[in-house]
A and B are shown apart, each in its own frame.
Chain A
Amino acid sequence: MTGTQNLPSSPTQSRSKKTLLVTDPPKFDLESYIQNYQGRTRFERLLQIGLCSTFLGVDALRLAVKEAKQGKDTKRYIQAQGHLQTIGPNEPESRRDQAWIEATDKKNQAETTRLQTELNGYKHNLIKESIRMGNEDLGKQYQAMGDLPKASEAFSRMRQDISISKHIVDVSRHLIEVATEQRNWMTVTSNVQKIRGILSSSDEDKSILPYLQAAEALACFENGDYRNAALVFLGTDTGLGSTAATIISPNDVAIYGGLCALASMDRNELQKKVLENSSFRTYLELEPQIRRAIAFFVNSRYTACLNVLETYRADYLLDIYLQKHFEELYHLIRSKSIVQYFIPFSCVTVDSLNQAFAPPGKTVDKELAMMIQNNELNARINTIERLLEAVPSNPRTELQRGALQITDDYAREARRRIMHMNVSMADLEVKGKRGTGHNNMGLSDDLFGEPVGRELRSRGAGSTMLS
């Protein structure tokens, strides 16, 4: 199936040890996949596939080199070309086009200088609108060159010269794009909020909503907040189309949203919020397998659900965002399946669980123990008869125990408070040497009575504390 282990098939492995290797053929077609995207994310995605897939690696890197050559970012070109040289030295693209690099670098520099001079000119003349546009151009130039911090800086400077609300949208969109590439999700979320704050109910403003929702959801997702990510993804309005193609495609919305929902919602919620959600359905139609997986889960066919995910594992592992999260999501979904599977039973054999959920050749024993330990599964393992047994609940005993515990705690707390009141009435608090109380504790020969607070402050965590 998948090869997350050290298979010796890829020569790039030595170069980037941490890169995950995917040896299975993905289900998608590279050309049509990359058609979904625009801008710099295309290169990122191609490079990711190129590095991770042993199956599409060469193709993807070749496309990546082409992609890079159409742009201005020479660093990217060198990167992609370097990788291609290692794994596909026979490809015509694997030779380094030094002339192009030099020419592009020179051109870039000249263009940047020109834009900067222009901007300085505008600033000199104090023409607000021109300054704003100058900054925008400069930001775009930096972004294209791959200098993201400077791009972000230039775009931020646009904010000073904003005159209409559409400008705010522009600034924030630029910033969202740059921040997404930098994986700076804080900035993404804050800019989404900024745009939200000024949106009117006009149709034009509404059309940007799916974009915002998708960006926000992606930020949640990347932060590992699957539950919220699911909710935001599911709330994405229809009509994302290619408006967010520089960041995310409608297919991605379906996949991310579906997986997050599977990982964080119960069956009822999945039915109501996912399958019966009319706006999200338009997205789900793009990725029918996700719809199938969810439907299987809702119908309690957990093995089938996991099988679907397993089949598409290669695809998901090649996605730039999903790669990091897939294993965890998969684990969550499987744990949840086990929990759900177990609900109607008081006792299940471990072997049947193995059959249903364990990856081939492995057992779920350890995982079950972990889940019980983390309170995800309310059950106990019987290793003698190899059973998973439900914990008989006894609400009466629990209530009784709880009630007695509460009265006990209450009485203790009450007594402590009475005592503390009496302490203050008897003027018995522990005081420092400066204390004016007549029960001066600073008796020098009195080891116990000596206050240490002050020494502590000056000495820090010294070792001779109790001398």
Chain B
Amino acid sequence: MDDFLPKLLSFPQHPPPTTPLTDTQYDDCIRAQITAVKSIPDSKLLVHTSSGESVLDFINPAINTVPYTFTLLATITALQKGSKTVKGDNLWDNMTGFLATFDPRQIRYLGSELSTIIEAVVEFARQRGQSGAAVAPVSNALLRYDPTGGMLTSKHLVLVRLALSSRQLADAVPTLDKPILYFPTAQKPLKSKLLCNLSNSPNVYITSDGGFSRKLKSWEVLEYFLYRGMIYMGTRNWKKAHQSLEDAFTFPTKDGVVSKIQIDAYKKWVLVGLLLKGKLLGLPKVTGSGPAKSFHIIAKPYEAVAQIFESGTATRLKAEVDVGNVIWQNDCNMGLILHVLAAYQKNQIRNLASIYTKMSIQEVHTSTTSAETGARLPNVQATETLVRSMIADGSLPATLSASPNLVLSFSLVGQVLSEPQFQRELAASTTQIKALTDEIKHTDHMLTHEKDYIKWLQKQKNSGKNAADLGVGGMDMDWNGDDEDLMAGAY
């Protein structure tokens, strides 16, 4: 054991060299080390040191990620085979500790190994009937592996399924909050692009051949968006749910076909839109015309509910919902529908704010109706409780005066940002947009280096046409140009 320890710890150098390694040197060293560690048989890795410690006990996964990974893997395999000699007492702690601390640079070379460990964690938790416990470690590991979070991997799917089935929703949210931009492709990493270059975007080191994620199918991507939306619904984050569902049903389709997932997403989107904005929102412009038609036909009952919610009475809404009971149940949207019913009166009360400044609670009581019963609330006290709860959760900017004559005063100007607050928000937006510009450049670069595009370009050249005006004309940020000017005015 002790004899190959130096081999395990040969990289990275300790203490770190005064001049940091160049990317090329780093790449050479780590590849050499991986080969070296791989050559050590599992049995040897599992042998304890002379002082009786396991390798996992004294290697720090944050520094020596490579040997730790392989030792951990060896332990997992041994335990799966039912080996008696290996102690698995600390396995869970070891695995989760590893997932929380691994070195994000070294791990890029260990995609498939990381994948195995994540699966082991999920399996481990599942076997003990506590699958929810795996949500947080997996979510953290995904963010550690790809800090931008822009690449959708098959592990993301594992995460959302796990989170939904175990109802451990909040832990998954940090990963889900990252907008998806890329998908694993079969692209071979270019020689010039070293895995260890930290400025590389995730699609350099996460490819479908890398072992971490397989190539996704379109329905899996859709499923991710749908489930992500459902997780947000579970955490009552209607805005994010709305956006995620929108991502699902605006997903590009060919020949006007629609996936059932998209239709499901659309149905939920309509209902979530009611909870969020109180009305039926128009389809985003990017929705294809073919899918849009299917949505309107298939989700008709939902749109009907939305229209009544917007302009109809509580009684009608309740009647409509009762009629469609079977539909909601079959679509598993009963919970959302109940939310919509509950939201009706709240929405009415909020709308009062756009007409009145002050009114007695008695007037609120008489001018609103509950869609849950199709009638007014039983007494003024119930209305008062409702109004109080709305003020408390921040959904109604208003104040209620003290008893006995309760007067509800709506606040006229919603939330006002203070100057520094606004500056901060603006700065955040600016960095966001700047980061986006890089993403756009990057995507543009990838597109211009795409095999098909180059082939096409070559053909154009061969046929003697001027290809100059046909190519991708640089980055085009200007699809609705006025926005830029408005931004400039805000500074």
Which A residues form the contact surface with B (CB < 8 A)? 369, 372-373, 380-385, 387, 389, 391-392, 394, 397, 399-404, 406-426, 428-432, 434-435, 439, 441, 446-454, 456, 460-461, 465-466
Residue numbers in A under 8 Å from B487 (CB-CB) = 403, 406-407, 410
Residue numbers in A under 8 Å from B360 (CB-CB) = 383-384
Which residues of chain B (414-455) have a CB below 8 Å from chain A? Answer: 416-417, 422, 425-426, 429-430, 432-433, 436, 439-440, 443, 446-447, 450
B260 touches A466 (CB 8 A): yes
Tell me the complex Cα distance, A399–B297, Å: 39
A439 touches B436 (CB 8 A): no
A383 touches B483 (CB 8 A): no
Tell me the complex Cα distance, A382–B147, Å: 52
Residue numbers in A under 8 Å from B263 (CB-CB) = 452, 465
Residue numbers in B under 8 Å from A417 (CB-CB) = 479
B181 touches A430 (CB 8 A): no
**Top 3 A-B residue pairs of the complex, sorted by shortest distance between their CB atoms:** A453-B257, A403-B490, A449-B219
Q: Report the minimum CB–CB distance from A430 to chain B (whole Å).
A: 4
Tell me the complex Cα distance, A26–B436, Å: 72
Interface residue from A400, A406, A435, A466 paired with B254 (Cβ < 8 Å) = A435
A410 touches B433 (CB 8 A): yes
A448 touches B447 (CB 8 A): no
Q: Report the minimum CB–CB distance from A436 to chain B (whole Å).
A: 10
Instruction: Give me 27 A-to-B residue pairs in the complex whose CB atoms sit less than 8 angstroms apart, sorted by A's number.
Output: A380-B412, A383-B358, A383-B360, A385-B358, A389-B357, A394-B416, A397-B417, A400-B417, A404-B426, A410-B433, A412-B243, A414-B477, A416-B250, A418-B181, A419-B247, A420-B286, A424-B252, A428-B218, A429-B251, A429-B253, A430-B222, A430-B251, A441-B259, A446-B219, A451-B257, A453-B290, A465-B263
Is B232 engaged at the interface, CB distance under 8 Å to the other chain?
A: no
Q: Report the minimum CB–CB distance from B348 to chain A (whole Å).
A: 12
Is B61 engaged at the interface, CB distance under 8 Å to the other chain?
A: no
Tell whether A414 pairs with B294 under 8 Å between CB atoms, given A381-B357, A421-B443, A448-B219.
no
Mask of B366-393 contacts with A, CB within 8 angstroms, 1/0? 0000000000000000000000000000
Q: Report the minimum CB–CB distance from A342 to chain B (whole Å).
A: 14
Residue numbers in B under 8 Å from A380 (CB-CB) = 354-357, 410, 412
Interface residue from A384, A425, A451 paired with B259 (Cβ < 8 Å) = A451
Tell me the complex Cα distance, A432–B357, Å: 55
Tell me the complex Cα distance, A60–B85, Å: 116
Q: Report the minimum CB–CB distance from B144 to chain A (whole Å).
A: 22
Q: Report the minimum CB–CB distance from B180 to chain A (whole Å).
A: 6
Residue numbers in A under 8 Å from B426 (CB-CB) = 403-404
Tell whether A384 pairs with B359 under 8 Å between CB atoms, given A414-B477, A430-B222, A453-B258.
yes
Q: Report the minimum CB–CB distance from B445 to chain A (whole Å).
A: 12
Is B146 engaged at the interface, CB distance under 8 Å to the other chain?
A: no
Is B177 engaged at the interface, CB distance under 8 Å to the other chain?
A: no
Q: Report the minimum CB–CB distance from B139 to chain A (whole Å).
A: 21
Interface residue from A418, A424, A441, A450 paired with B440 (Cβ < 8 Å) = A418
Residue numbers in B under 8 Å from A460 (CB-CB) = 297
Tell whether A369 pairs with B486 under 8 Å between CB atoms, given A430-B257, A449-B219, A451-B259.
no
Tell me the complex Cα distance, A428–B217, Å: 7
Interface residue from A383, A404, A419, A428 paired with B356 (Cβ < 8 Å) = A383
> Chain B: how many interface residues by the 8 Å CB criterion?
76
Tell me the complex Cα distance, A89–B422, Å: 81
Is B185 engaged at the interface, CB distance under 8 Å to the other chain?
A: yes
Tell me the complex Cα distance, A369–B185, Å: 58
Residue numbers in B under 8 Å from A406 (CB-CB) = 483, 486-487
Mask of B108-152 contacts with A, CB within 8 angstroms, 1/0? 000000000000000000000000000000000000000000000
Residue numbers in A under 8 Å from B300 (CB-CB) = 461
Tell me the complex Cα distance, A404–B477, Å: 18
Residue numbers in B under 8 Å from A382 (CB-CB) = 356-359
Q: Beyond A401-B417, A450-B260: 8 further Cβ-contacts under 8 Å?
A: A369-B355, A381-B359, A392-B413, A400-B490, A414-B477, A422-B182, A429-B218, A456-B294
Is B262 engaged at the interface, CB distance under 8 Å to the other chain?
A: yes
Name the CB-closest residue of B to A439: B217
Name the CB-closest residue of B to A383: B359
Which residues of chain B (266-305) have a CB below 8 Å from chain A? Answer: 286, 290-291, 294, 297-298, 300
Residue numbers in A under 8 Å from B182 (CB-CB) = 419, 422
Most A CB contacts (10 A, CB to CB) among B183, B219, B407, B450 go to: B219
Tell me the complex Cα distance, A446–B218, Å: 13
Interface residue from A373, A400, A432 paired with B255 (Cβ < 8 Å) = A432
Is B256 engaged at the interface, CB distance under 8 Å to the other chain?
A: yes
Tell me the complex Cα distance, A100–B23, Å: 112
A441 touches B219 (CB 8 A): yes
Residue numbers in A under 8 Å from B256 (CB-CB) = 453
A429 touches B254 (CB 8 A): yes
Tell whether A448 pairs with B331 under 8 Å between CB atoms, given A418-B181, A426-B183.
no
Residue numbers in A under 8 Å from B440 (CB-CB) = 414, 418
A426 touches B184 (CB 8 A): yes
Tell me the complex Cα distance, A381–B219, Å: 52
A466 touches B330 (CB 8 A): yes
Interface residue from A387, A402, A425, A449 paired with B217 (Cβ < 8 Å) = A449
Tell me the complex Cα distance, A180–B124, Å: 84
Tell me the complex Cα distance, A243–B185, Å: 79
B252 touches A420 (CB 8 A): yes
Tell me the complex Cα distance, A431–B288, Å: 13
Residue numbers in A under 8 Å from B330 (CB-CB) = 466
Tell me the complex Cα distance, A447–B490, Å: 49
B218 touches A448 (CB 8 A): no
Name the CB-closest residue of A to B257: A453
Q: Report the minimum CB–CB distance from A330 to chain B (whole Å).
A: 23
Which residues of chain B (167-203) have a CB below 8 Å from chain A? Answer: 179-185
Q: Report the minimum CB–CB distance from B283 to chain A (whole Å).
A: 13
Is B155 engaged at the interface, CB distance under 8 Å to the other chain?
A: no
Tell me the complex Cα distance, A297–B1, Å: 101
Interface residue from B252, B354, B357, B436 paired with A429 (Cβ < 8 Å) = B252
Residue numbers in A under 8 Å from B413 (CB-CB) = 392, 394, 397
Tell me the complex Cα distance, A308–B474, Å: 67
